[in-house]
Structure 1
């Protein structure tokens, strides 16, 4: 057993080398707890939160420490999955919420501490910064060599002064067992209660001495794969096409309804009614659609709910189908490390890691082209009677085409096309080398680190826009063959064009789809180099003890380069095209990612002091001061100073009080500064026109960004009553306020502000409409595109309470005796505000959307001999639909949810080797996710996948071994 020192208090944690089942006496100690048995410890390890290394020192910073075995008990798939179950983590990005586009890292596992965004927590490996694996500057924690991770330390508060910039919401430090000796490994398989989402994994690690006992070698290999759930329809409610309808008034509150279908597109092509597509007002073909056999019949729009512009309940409309519910992943990690003692007080080390994480998911199985094109009466695939009827209509020229070639607006859901799949691959190489040693009473370390990461993303099945629109415009050629109009009007421009019959589900052939489709690709390469040095020790004795220090410096360079085959800043020619509604088009229907290139260097220097103020006095057993300061200078945004001050006070033996106050920063990432245009396509509700339809969203970087500033304070207590052995409790109040917070301009917010100003606000420039703001008829003025870009938001803040209670005791029942461990971890966040600019009123977001006010984990572990039984209940409190008293919902709250996870392990010995078999059932009671209608029909599963389980009961079994 290794004893972890949390400032001078020891938390007993099972060593990662121990292949036996978890022991509640070892694994379930609360933050700051004294061990029940310290005599058996092998070494002392300093917990993240301070760079001071000194026996008897207590850092005031709250830290949640979790052993690997504890994380894998209820999340056998990976250590990050286990972390995501802790109340302090919410809305982490990963395979459980893949999204409809491939313009952001939707695979992998990007941890989100406090719900403030993955970009605001710093991810470390043994205290060293890990190079970003996404262009957003975040780290896919799936690339960490999990088989050698002994524990994870989570600093739940600002830590920039101690560990560097970007640690605004905290630090997640993965600690390796670098002294491990022996061979250990595991193998496992898993399956859902529905017989899908198969998973498998294995890992092996070895550590051995070389050159006598002066050298030590560590090697490991980890592999894990999981198929995911291919379609929303594979789970209850996924095929019900439930969508939020209503207009939020008392008379027509927002409510869930289903089945809801598009009134602007069908599987076989629809000519929408004029109320759905203003350009079709009065058109004789409006309200007709094609059956699979190509016949044109009247369309039943179903019942249009209040507040909706393009969907109906029931009727002949169609949904989007085929979207992946949870993505597939394959991860592999190779790791090697070599330590060598050059002299009694001098050690050399070098480690090399390689990891890759592959992710696949379907964005939308059926391409959704609603209100997206025109069909002309000259199209020979139109039934003769329909073409004649259209030509006989004396509509307005320019709106209905020319007098001799009338047109009608159409929409189609391409259920017959191959699914649009994303394949993303993250590859990361990390190298770290350095020297550690001591000079008298001082310890020192000097290191060099290099990291390379490469993200490649390919989105297949994307329509090449100019080809798609050209294929829609079919005409008769001079020889009577059906050809594309562009081949006649602009010969030589697109002579290989295929005139496609889009009328009827199944009419386009595979060859047709091959011709109009392509693969949108981009890749992001990043490199990071870090040179760092630090020294720590005791300066001199004070009456209450030694004054300790740590001082160091770091120089870091980082470079980003992004390349793409779909740069939206490069115009796509529309010459010869007359069927597209929009005035401009991107190369692909979705996932148009621009170029980006940039670099910066960072200089940092820090100092930290631990000052014992008073000791061994009445009501003052100890009073210690911890203070740190760091100066950071970015070549892109200048210099800034961060600092931390904290107090640790022990009035009586059983009680410790702590307080910290810190100033932290996050500088804008290279991508936030230098990203070129990128474009995505998705749903957008426009309050001006009343339409809820697909729109192009453009985004880019902003070179004028400055660092955001975080102010954090915590105050808390740790209580370990001597009269109740095995019990420990900690409670901490925290407050984080981020000024000049970097956030993307919200397109909905910008549109609402523009409308409220009657088109006069400066934000109107980000809503690109085909006509002036006050154009009539207003229904024709749905945006062509909306733009978002990062800016320094005025304010983002939250406050709340973290609490943790644990109790470990011998337990006897029914004539049997064993050990019982109980642990409760909770987070209560009653306040979470944002303000978009200095003149705007703060908006309270606590307990709304994904921000549950209460999140609690309760875990019980019973061990008797070789058998261990663990149960964990995860509670997510009820959430309000809105805090706006003028907005009404039929069901104003999302109900609370409790997930039950069960694990059984059994230790046995084969030929003198220790083995442990295990079986875990996640969501054992099959708790269904709350019903939350969102998005457009079929494009999203009707819940919030960022916080609720959509997989259902999941069974994992396997074996761990050590010899």
Structure 2
């Protein structure tokens, strides 16, 4: 049978020892062995580790999430804020190509990804693992350790471990083909896989292989879904007089598709200018600008009028993944087995960050511009500005903003290749088990961001003048001959005025490549040391050596400032090569040495007060070449007073060391909206970020306590509740650019943080409205605090319908997470902030599933509940609608088994989001650029149909 149903099948039982799992996770296997899940390196008959573990089979994960195992995991209540193609950003520096799991919402770098207990080398520049590289066709189940596990499994397991378990003994041939389509007739997907296993060299060798292919079109434009083209924006300023609220048809007052000379309240330099409040129509006509209705407290945006939105953003990115895997096991001797496995994955992701790249409030237009209408040029030439002297350069100019709807869309093309190799020996010596392995991983990410403006060319092209012969040329060719003699003067007045050749000349590809590799040598020895009255004392001891190297190259290193010489149309004192996605270079390496020991000690067995009482302890010493030695440990207890009830408790100290990218990354520059209280302006700003070689490991302290109830009087029923409390100190985080700027302002310009805020003029310059920052540096430091606590709970019940005259089975499972506390502290100068039940972190998340199996026919229904969230936890910040309502998504799957010619087949149809539930309306400050909801948590695709066929011979 292909289906892994929540019942006992094929003589296989799954013992969820120390786990939030029961016989529901039972699955088909190639043999009749018992599968033991411990959440520990110690495997011993009857041993129950105290670590809470959620166990789900591949079939259960993909039954209502046919896109893949990662999609199924992302929908579990314990995961939050995962990065994937549904959650694209407006910069090409995001991890777009792949699926990156985020346990507890504490960050993908804080959970450890394993394959059969082996660390997987990172596949991205920031040290995370794209789980798409794992051969899903051969994955039997996934074990999620929902608590600190650094002492047992290795550094970086601060929030937990996700361990993929392969069916290494599989014999036969199986495959799958499926297609998907949304209820709107778009976002097509296709998936195909083939996997096989067979014995060679008699029964001494075994070969495994698989190939997985997945592709999905995505949704190239926000407008493809309701609300996506309605230009929703957040207006107000969060005060009682002007609370934040969602508003339709919100448009920028600082730029138009044809070029605008904004009013002085949006660009102070235009105060009293004769062209203030004028803009160009598509035909080049200069007319008065209607700013629309300006909502109280809102800066730079109006409702209606002649303003423009940002357009062209991708709603969900496209994805194309191919994954190859092969493994060979060989019995060297009666007690020694050799193995080697190799995998290769290529993932490609494309998405548009923004179609209308904007230079809002960043352009000066001069009276001698050859494309200005004569009357406008004359008015500007006679304008007497602040210095009172007509005709000076400062007077004969006007500030302008343009949103380029006529430029090529700025599309990211991210291609990631990952190679992994693992080989080793394992065997037994007497009653002891041993294993020695070597692993190598090599990954390269190639990211290209098309349609980016060359800053030099753009500003130079805007400054079009007439030479002595009357020809229109770039002013820079007259004032600075030899600097940019190939400059192409461009008419930017009026939407559609620039030709395709013009756009080609100012547009380019911002590119960066990140290459990373890791060598891992590891060994482990385990078994029973000696016996106590209550049973054997078991142990596992071992060590690991890792060496990792990072090399990043770029064609737009922001550390190398682009010259502004001769660019009099440029407002900023600093510009980067491109108007977005300027990524620095980086190079670095480190090595890690680790040694660990874990022990399980039985205290009582068969006692009147305890059927079993066990103690578990683990210790690991980790030595980083960059920051020295660190100790991690874990203590746990498991108490079974009687066979139906078990209590468990753990206390651990965990670490995560800074990644190579956090240590050595070159400067990156991102452009985005920013409000500056000093100047009172809300405009685009460059945020610089980079590595910090002085970072040290962050420390996690975790408590878990739980109870598991499996009443023998009600076979098939299981319940568990686990409390968790994770506190991470010295957490590595970037200084919030807003906090840096605010601290500098509060100090009157004297704070040491002021060095990270670059302004065109000194801090006390007047008028302050002209002193909007050019850039802010967001530095990574070891000062942050992250803390989260709550409850995980599970209830499952599996029973047969035989008493009712039906040879059928029903399986029910409820998984829930209750997170009433989440605290963050950006740095030592900031107050701790309560952020629970906000943004990506609802207090309640629940999955409820029911499966009905009647012979070859199966039906599964699942409800996914996402609780209501508060729009803010900030005291004094007021929203007109302070709460986002709870939401429920319903998924169903119908499938049928049949046999043809000795092969077993399973046909299935899955409908996700059956009710086509729309995401809640959550507008932001960038109308048109981002879809008005939280894409990291809510479904923006809508009803989705997937039909497929599985086969096995």
Calculate the TM-score normalised by the size of structure 1: 0.96
CA contact 2:15–2:34 (8 Å) conserved in 1: no
Counterpart position of 2:785? 795
- Cα gap change, 1:398/1:365 in structure 2, threshold over 3 Å: closer, same or farther? farther
Q: CA deviation at 1:94?
A: 1.1
Counterpart position of 1:197? 187
SS of match in other structure, 1:883:
coil
SS of match in other structure, 1:763:
helix
More off after superposition, 49-58 vs 852-861: 49-58
- Cα gap change, 1:930/1:812 in structure 2, threshold over 3 Å: closer, same or farther? farther
SS of match in other structure, 1:466:
helix
- Cα gap change, 1:404/1:897 in structure 2, threshold over 3 Å: closer, same or farther? closer
- Cα gap change, 1:757/1:821 in structure 2, threshold over 3 Å: closer, same or farther? same
Partner deviation per Cα, 1:544-586 (whole Å, 9 max, x = no partner): 0000110001111000000000000112121211101101100
Q: CA deviation at 1:812?
A: 7.0
Q: Is 2:346 aligned against 1:363? A: no
Q: For residues 82-481 of structure 1, what are the structure 2 equivalents within 5 Å? A: 82-396=72-386, 402=392, 406-481=396-471
Q: CA deviation at 1:179?
A: 0.7
Distance between the aligned counterparts of 1:28 and 1:241, measured in 2?
Answer: 52
CA contact 1:246–1:306 (8 Å) conserved in 2: yes
Q: CA deviation at 1:107?
A: 3.1
Task: Select which of 533, 536, 554 maps to 1:564.
Answer: 554
CA RMSD of aligned residues (A): 1.8
Counterpart position of 1:593? 583
Counterpart position of 2:5? 22
Counterpart position of 1:630? 620
Q: Is 2:857 aligned against 1:867? A: yes
- Cα gap change, 1:814/1:208 in structure 2, threshold over 3 Å: closer, same or farther? same
CA contact 1:132–1:139 (8 Å) conserved in 2: yes
Counterpart position of 2:840? 850
Q: CA deviation at 1:852?
A: 0.7
Distance between the aligned counterparts of 1:404 and 1:242, measured in 2?
Answer: 37
Distance between the aligned counterparts of 2:838 and 2:426, measured in 1?
Answer: 49
SS of match in other structure, 1:736:
strand
Partner deviation per Cα, 1:827-875 (whole Å, 9 max, x = no partner): 0011111223446432111112211111110011111111111111111
Partner deviation per Cα, 1:484-542 (whole Å, 9 max, x = no partner): 11111112221111100111111111110110011000011011001111100001111
Partner deviation per Cα, 1:377-430 (whole Å, 9 max, x = no partner): 111111111111111211135999725981111111111111100000110101
Counterpart position of 1:883? 873
Partner deviation per Cα, 1:136-155 (whole Å, 9 max, x = no partner): 11111111111111111111
Q: CA deviation at 1:766?
A: 2.0
CA contact 2:389–2:395 (8 Å) conserved in 1: no
Counterpart position of 1:12? none
Counterpart position of 1:898? 888
CA contact 1:20–1:915 (8 Å) conserved in 2: no
CA contact 1:373–1:411 (8 Å) conserved in 2: yes
Q: For residues 802-813 of structure 1, what are the structure 2 equivalents within 5 Å? A: 802-811=792-801
Q: CA deviation at 1:619?
A: 2.4
Q: CA deviation at 1:39?
A: 13
Q: Is 2:936 aligned against 1:946? A: yes
Q: Is 2:802 aligned against 1:826? A: no
More off after superposition, 492-501 vs 35-44: 35-44
CA contact 1:21–1:907 (8 Å) conserved in 2: no
More off after superposition, 398-407 vs 792-801: 398-407
Q: For residues 495-506 of structure 1, what are the structure 2 equivalents within 5 Å? A: 495-506=485-496
Partner deviation per Cα, 1:147-181 (whole Å, 9 max, x = no partner): 11111111100010011100000011111111110
Q: For residues 720-869 of structure 1, what are the structure 2 equivalents within 5 Å? A: 720-811=710-801, 816-838=806-828, 840-869=830-859
CA contact 1:465–1:586 (8 Å) conserved in 2: yes
CA contact 1:24–1:863 (8 Å) conserved in 2: no
- Cα gap change, 1:512/1:779 in structure 2, threshold over 3 Å: closer, same or farther? same
CA contact 1:62–1:155 (8 Å) conserved in 2: yes
Q: CA deviation at 1:329?
A: 0.6
Counterpart position of 1:10? none
SS of match in other structure, 2:106:
coil
- Cα gap change, 1:401/1:95 in structure 2, threshold over 3 Å: closer, same or farther? farther
Counterpart position of 2:602? 612
- Cα gap change, 1:48/1:417 in structure 2, threshold over 3 Å: closer, same or farther? farther
Q: CA deviation at 1:38?
A: 11
Counterpart position of 1:513? 503
Distance between the aligned counterparts of 2:32 and 2:857, measured in 1?
Answer: 25
Q: CA deviation at 1:185?
A: 0.4
Distance between the aligned counterparts of 2:369 and 2:300, measured in 1?
Answer: 26
Q: Is 2:944 aligned against 1:961? A: no
Q: CA deviation at 1:590?
A: 0.2
More off after superposition, 37-46 vs 294-303: 37-46
CA contact 1:24–1:861 (8 Å) conserved in 2: no
Aligned residues: 946
Where in structure 1 are there 5+ consecutive unaligned residues? 1-17
Distance between the aligned counterparts of 2:523 and 2:511, measured in 1?
Answer: 40
- Cα gap change, 1:764/1:397 in structure 2, threshold over 3 Å: closer, same or farther? same
Distance between the aligned counterparts of 1:768 and 1:35, measured in 2?
Answer: 61
Q: Is 2:473 aligned against 1:483? A: yes
Calculate the TM-score normalised by the size of structure 2: 0.97
Distance between the aligned counterparts of 2:408 and 2:15, measured in 1?
Answer: 52
Partner deviation per Cα, 1:232-269 (whole Å, 9 max, x = no partner): 11111111111111111112111111210000111111
CA contact 1:452–1:526 (8 Å) conserved in 2: yes
- Cα gap change, 1:731/1:489 in structure 2, threshold over 3 Å: closer, same or farther? same
Partner deviation per Cα, 1:585-622 (whole Å, 9 max, x = no partner): 00000000001110000000000001001111112000
Distance between the aligned counterparts of 1:711 and 1:398, measured in 2?
Answer: 65
Partner deviation per Cα, 1:313-359 (whole Å, 9 max, x = no partner): 11010001000000001000000000000111000000011011110
Distance between the aligned counterparts of 1:255 and 1:911, measured in 2?
Answer: 63
SS of match in other structure, 1:668:
coil
Q: CA deviation at 1:201?
A: 1.0
Q: CA deviation at 1:753?
A: 2.4
- Cα gap change, 1:136/1:641 in structure 2, threshold over 3 Å: closer, same or farther? same
Counterpart position of 1:532? 522
- Cα gap change, 1:913/1:703 in structure 2, threshold over 3 Å: closer, same or farther? same
Q: CA deviation at 1:808?
A: 0.6
Partner deviation per Cα, 1:604-646 (whole Å, 9 max, x = no partner): 0000001001111112000001100000000000001100110
Q: Is 2:693 aligned against 1:703? A: yes
CA contact 1:98–1:107 (8 Å) conserved in 2: no
SS of match in other structure, 1:162:
helix
CA contact 1:29–1:806 (8 Å) conserved in 2: no
Distance between the aligned counterparts of 2:421 and 2:662, measured in 1?
Answer: 26
Distance between the aligned counterparts of 2:113 and 2:394, measured in 1?
Answer: 65
